Amino acid sequence: MARTKQEMTQYKALEYLIARGPGRTELELARAIHGGRATQQYVNQDCTMLVIEGKAERRGAGRKREPYRYWPIKAASHVPEHDNNKSEHDHGVQRKDQQ
């Protein structure tokens, strides 16, 4: 399903807000984007899409006393390539034939 420009802007804004303010509720996110009278329904669908697409994690029970809160999912950290100039011993690794 293609998104409108306005929907993409909200989606990107949610992604930004979650990354810079982890643990926000849908209501807090909606009000940050749309102002003080906004309700969580303004952002619910896009928050769900962020979870489905693996860009955010949703925690909480989704109830008034324990609302959903959103946390960014960090990209896998870069694992450096093996340095061919160092031996296995330099990396703290022993091959089976060296044990």
User: Residue 43 is part of a domain; what is its CATH number?
Assistant: 1.10.10.10
The token pair at 3 is 């998104």
pLDDT tens sequence across 51-95: 999 999 999 999 999 999 999 998 544 344 444 444 444 444 444
What's the pTM?
Answer: 0.69
Cβ contacts of 23 within 8 Å, gap of 6 or more: 69, 70, 71
The token pair at 90 is 């330099």
Task: Quote the mean pLDDT of the chain.
Answer: 80
Q: Tell me whether residue 90 is in a domain.
A: no
Beta bridge partners of 73: none
**pLDDT at 35 > cutoff 80:** yes
Q: Tell me whether residue 82 is in a domain.
A: no
Q: Tell me whether residue 85 is in a domain.
A: no
Give me the domain span that covers residue 10.
5-72
Residue-level pLDDT at 74: 80
**pLDDT at 39 > cutoff 60:** yes
